[in-house]
Amino acid sequence: MAIQRPKGTQDLLPGAVEQWQYLEETIRSVCREYGYEEIRTPIFEATELFQRGVGQTTDIVQKEMYTFLDKGDRSMTLRPEGTASVCRAYVENKLHGQPQPVKLYYMGPMFRYERPQSGRFRQFHQFGVEVLGADQPLVDAEVISLVWNLYQRLGLTKLEVHVNSVGCPVCRAKHREQLQEFLALRRNELCDDCRDRFETNPLRILDCKNQSCQTITKGAPTTLDTLCENCKTHFEKVQDLLEEAGVVYRVDSRLVRGIDYYTKTAFEVMVEEIGAQSAICGGGRYDGLVEEIGGPPTPGIGFAMGIERVLTALQVQHKLPEGKPRLYAMLIALGEKAQSKGFSLLSALRVQGMPVSMDLQGRNLKAQLKAANRQGAHYALILGEEELERNVVLIRDLTLGEQTEVPLAEAVETLNEKYRRGV
Ligand code: HAM
């Protein structure tokens, strides 16, 4: 039996790849405009980084990591997300010694052993941003407005931006206590997972998809109810700045992120049209993470978006540029001699930056013309034995059906001039 790709992964074929490139290029230009620089970290890291960074009680660490022992018996994990790696790199490369904040972005594959379904993969791709070394509300607002402006640039509509504050360790402890008190009497009615979460991470109960847990948590105290003065002022300032920046958002006191490192601001962007996995972006502040993984106390904030989900939203909303880039000219060489002469003409055209191609199988004129049309070529450059003898090449405009003859020595210049004029 033929071998198949692993469940939850995708092959990206020509046609789809161009859409990825379009999105990646748009992302890169928005990052440049905001002054973010790219960082590339390893695809696998010491397992402990994610245990400490993402958090022992999270679904990611408990159920979803691709963990293996390498040949030296070290436990390694394919990265399930990018934030912990970026913080590790910040500490390891002493980026805290540079002018702060450090504004970084990354794009690449992440791995989570989840149940694959529409919009949920085991290998998926994220574009993410992390700002390290600044705790001002202005940074939170800049990061969220970057997301917003990227989506505006892409033409995405029907976005729902949800913003919340989960507080700092001080107000979180108070919330935890109040929440446990609220849930104590009905603790036994919670689902199995939430009964465990009651002790380990009660905040996550607010995010449970189970119907009975949702009923039980109706009216439960939210993190907004217990914010300390400092966190409250911070959150209010973030909201003022978001309004200033023209971001349309709503405060969602039930927004709980699935990762443990968050403090203060947390946010998500949803597009309902793309189905159950509607979160196209998630992020927030994580002021304790760098210290948690062994670095100096450093505030941080960032987000990551699922490239596959953003592309689905763009598809559903018909906002993707059409099709593959067109070939400018197809060289049709007939006979062996013409082929080698044509081959050097092709190289000369490529040096000038023109996308050109030729038949590599020695097919006849009709078959080659058909291939040129199929690939959307603007011109066919025909070089047969007779043309070769007279040192000319035929330039046939495939759209107009017109044909001119030019000396071989002038072919590059003639075509280059047409190409620059866009004809
Ligand atoms: P996250 O919410 O786990 O956050 O993931 C961010 C985004 O990645 C999601 O909103 C979704 O679009 C996409 N995503 C997650 N899992 C999958 C999957 N299995 N298949 C397809 N797409 C998926 C983080 O990863 C944090 N590191 C974000 C962050 C950065 N927070 C602060 N800085």
pLDDT in tens, the chain (423 residues): 999 999 999 999 998 999 999 999 999 999 999 999 999 999 999 999 999 999 998 999 999 999 999 999 999 999 999 999 999 999 999 999 999 999 999 999 999 999 999 999 999 999 999 999 999 999 999 999 999 999 999 999 999 999 999 999 999 999 999 999 999 999 999 999 999 999 999 999 998 889 999 999 999 999 999 999 999 999 999 999 999 999 999 999 999 998 999 999 999 999 999 999 999 999 999 999 999 999 999 999 999 999 999 999 999 999 998 867 789 999 999 999 999 999 999 999 999 999 999 988 889 999 999 999 998 999 999 999 999 999 999 999 999 999 999 999 999 999 999 999 988
Helices (H), 184-255: 192-200, 211-216, 229-244
Tell me: do 233 and 254 sit in the same domain: yes
Distance 178 CA to ligand 1 centre (A): 29
Tell me: do 411 and 281 sit in the same domain: no
Is there a domain that residue 270 lies in?
yes
> Ligand 1: which of 111, 259, 267, 287 to mutate, judged by most atoms within 8 Å of the beta carbon?
259
Question: Which of these three, 282, 316, 350, is where a domain ends?
Answer: 316
Is there a domain that residue 283 lies in?
yes
Distance 282 CA to ligand 1 centre (A): 6
- Residue 344 to residues 177, 246, 324, 339, 377, Cα–Cα distance (Å): 77, 55, 26, 9, 19
Closest atom of ligand 1 to CA, residue 120:
20
Instruction: Report the C-alpha gap between 350 and 233 in whole angstroms.
Output: 59
Tell me the torsion sign for CA atoms 183, 184, 190, 196.
Answer: positive
Residue 286, amino acid? Y
Q: Which residues line ligand 1 (CB under 6 A)?
A: 81-83, 112, 114, 120-121, 124, 126, 128, 130, 258-259, 279-284, 286, 302-306, 308-309
Question: Which of these three, 260, 289, 316, is where a domain ends?
Answer: 316
> Ligand 1: which of 107, 126, 150 to mutate, judged by most atoms within 8 Å of the beta carbon?
126
Distance 268 CA to ligand 1 centre (A): 10
Tell me: do 299 and 357 sit in the same domain: no
- Residue with the smallest CA separation from ligand 1 atom 15 is 306
Domain around 21: 17-168+228-316
Closest atom of ligand 1 to CA, residue 121:
20
Tell me the torsion sign for CA atoms 336, 339, 341, 347.
Answer: negative
Tell me: do 361 and 252 sit in the same domain: no
Q: What is the pTM of this model?
A: 0.93
CATH code of 85's domain: 3.30.930.10
Q: What is the DSSP letter of 225?
A: G
Counted domains in the chain: 2
Tell me: do 291 and 334 sit in the same domain: no
Distance 339 CA to ligand 1 centre (A): 51
Distance 118 CA to ligand 1 centre (A): 15
